[in-house]
Amino acid sequence: MDKNLCSITLDTSRQLVRVVAKGELYREDGEEIITQALSTAAEHGYNVFCDVRKTEVKVTLADWFDMPRTLKIFRNEKTRLINTAVLISRGKQEEDYKFYETVSHNLGRHVKIFFTEKEALAWLSGNK
């Protein structure tokens, strides 16, 4: 993954792992980002805030369905407790992200899609 496409930092004041991604992201990029963010969050006992408003995700519907089932990091029990807020823009990929949210929810994961940073951060602070 190109480091210019994504930054993963600790927001200690909010106890969050903050992910900001931009550009075209493929399945491999998403898997790397998810793995790094969840590993860091589990290590610190934090939740994850992921801003993908400036991305164009190049992932098939089958990949959206498959990733939460097959990605190794999801087998870690510590990651089950992590809440992940995903900040997106309204538009063409909105349905794909909502599908991922539903698939994740059905697997017992705490992933929620938001359109404003304020709502995402409020949800994360109330779900510690």
What per-residue string of b and e applies to 84-107 under the rule 16 or more CB within 10 Å gives b? Answer: bbbbbeeeebeebbeebbebbeee
Nearest Cα residue to 67 out of 27, 97, 101: 27
Q: What is the pLDDT of residue 128?
A: 43
Pairing of strands 6-11, 16-26: antiparallel
Phi-psi region of 91 (alpha: psi -120 to 50; beta: other; left: phi over 0): left
Q: Tens-of-pLDDT digits for all 128 residues of the chain?
A: 555 589 999 999 999 999 999 999 999 999 999 999 999 999 999 999 999 999 998 988 899 889 888 888 888 888 888 999 999 999 878 999 999 999 999 998 999 999 999 999 999 998 54
Q: What is the pLDDT of residue 69?
A: 86
One CATH from 3.30.750, 1.10.10, 2.60.98, 1.10.3470 for 6-126: 3.30.750
Q: What residue spans define the domains of the chain? A: 6-126
Q: What is the pLDDT of residue 42?
A: 95
**Alpha-carbon gap, residue 5 to 72, rounded angstroms:** 23
